Chain A
């Protein structure tokens, strides 16, 4: 059973376009993290969202945590080739020994 569903699984867009990636669950998380992984490297943490309804911005990336803390979205404005990579969401639950529940990822390709 996949507790965190990510959509779309694959996305190929042109430079300058906007996109949104979704991370959904039927379970409540105490916090949710977004990571980006480039080919040949390990995932790198982009952001952690903690409060329901929270919105965080990181340059052209906007992250939102759902009010019920069951889902999250990542919106990229004016995508650039450097945004290419695998975007992973991971949810945390209190008392879970610092174990994260991982989504399967969204593979994004931004073409110049």
Chain B
């Protein structure tokens, strides 16, 4: 079974530029999560989708961050414009959703550096 795929793995941009990350969850997983992780700390939930609907985006900085999961499968997370403090690893995770348990399966992440 293929795991969660993310791209790119690394991205370096200048502040005020825009960037997009892509995630393809495990097949059949209804719930998709985007997390921001500062080096050495736990993940911070940015947005959670159930199929193509948003369940929780309370910690998403909506003035600069946006995310979509139009067909209920893969998802994109965009930052525009980027700030220095956005430097972090962006993790995508998926789970079975309401039909399953709480176990989440993570992709390898995208390491973003904003200079």
Binding site for B on A (CB under 8 A): 6, 31, 33, 40-45, 48, 86, 88, 90, 92, 97-100, 102-105, 107
A43-B43, A86-B40 in contact; A99/B105 too (CB < 8 A)?
A: no
Query: Which residues in B have some Cβ–Cβ distance to A below 8 Å?
Result: 4, 31, 40-45, 48, 50, 55-56, 91, 93, 95, 97-98, 101-109, 111
B104–A97 touching, CB < 8 Å = no
B102→A97 contact, CB < 8 A = no
Nearest 4 Cβ contacts at the A-B interface: A42-B106, A92-B102, A102-B42, A104-B42
Contacts of A45 in B (CB 8 A): 103-105
CB pair A88–B42 under 8 Å, yes or no, is yes
Point out which of A92, A100, A104, A107 has the most chain B C-beta atoms below 10 A from its C-beta. A100
CA distance A98 to B49 in the complex (A): 11
Chain A contacts for B56, CB-based, 8 A: 97, 99
B108→A31 contact, CB < 8 A = no
Give A31 to B56 CA distance when docked, in angstroms. 20
Cβ contacts under 8 Å, A48 to chain B: 101-103
A43, B106: Cβ atoms under 8 Å?
yes
Q: Are A103 and B91 in contact (CB under 8 A)?
A: no
A1 vs chain B, min Cβ distance (A): 13
Residues of B within 8 A of A41 (CB): 106, 108-109
Contacts A97-B55, A98-B31, A98-B98; is A42 near B91 (CB within 8 Å)?
Answer: yes
Which B-chain residue is minimally distant from A40 (CB atoms)? Answer: B108
CA distance A97 to B43 in the complex (A): 17
Tell me, in angstroms, the Cα distance from A49 to B85 when the chains sit together: 35
CB distance from A65 to the nearest CB of B (A): 14
Most buried by B among A43, A98, A105, A107: A98
A107: B residues at CB distance < 8 A: 40
Q: Which chain B residue has the least Cβ–Cβ distance from A100?
A: B102
CA A44 to CA B56, docked complex, whole Å: 23
Let me know if A42 and B93 touch, CB within 8 A.
yes
